[in-house]
Chain A
Amino acid sequence: DAGVIQSPRHEVTEMGQEVTLRCKPISGHDYLFWYRQTMMRGLELLIYFNNNVPIDDSGMPEDRFSAKMPNASFSTLKIQPSEPRDSAVYFCASSLARGMFGYTFGSGTRLTVV
């Protein structure tokens, strides 16, 4: 299994631009999570899906953030418009069964907004 695949690995964009991060979960995993990691706040849950349906998006910072999961093998996290404070590493993770067996994380997307 190739694991959770995220793209791009690095993204540098100008303030105000739209950014789209992509994730392919492990086949058969029915939960997908988006996390943001910063030095100050650690790993923060943004949103998670179960069977492609958003379950909890209370961690999404504001309306500039949106996430979709059109099918079981693909999810996107979009920021529009981007701001410098959005600079962080964004991780996608997938799991079976409520995360009891742990999540498998992707390698992350390092986003820099200048």
Chain B
Amino acid sequence: GQQLNQSPQSMFIQEGEDVSMNCTSSSIFNTWLWYKQEPGEGPVLLIALYKAGELTSNGRLTAQFGITRKDSFLNISASIPSDVGIYFCAGLPSNSNSGYALNFGKGTSLLVTP
């Protein structure tokens, strides 16, 4: 599948700080998704984006579908200790040859200290 480049690889912040992470691709995507994985569990969907330029919020989380359709951003405002986990971006390529499977980034590991 198409490789997604996710950054940063890890973040270590204090409670109350805002967090930003992003995901880029060399090809165009039709759908962008953001997942969170906690230890011992599978990834859980946080936000789904379907149109270029779309900005969607889920509580303190906000994600955007880049206008080039090759990137997406996730912001977490006023972080709290329970935000700890690995955040994955995932996308559905527009290339019909890529099938119907989501491609995943390698994740951003977030640690929040009280």
A-to-B contact residues, CB < 8 Å: 4, 31, 33, 42-43, 45, 48, 50, 55-56, 91, 93, 98-108
Contact = CB atoms under 8 A, between A and B. Distances in A.
B101 A99 contact: yes
Contacts of B107: 42
A105 B42 contact: yes
Interface string B77-114: 00000000000101010000001111011110000000
Interface of B: 1, 30-31, 33, 35, 40-45, 48, 50, 88, 90, 92, 99-102, 104-107
Looking at chain A's contact residues, the main secondary structure is strand
A50 B99 CA distance: 11
Contacts of A100: 30-31, 48, 50, 92
Contact of A105 (B1, B40, B43, B48): B43
A101 B100 contact: no
B48 A102 contact: yes
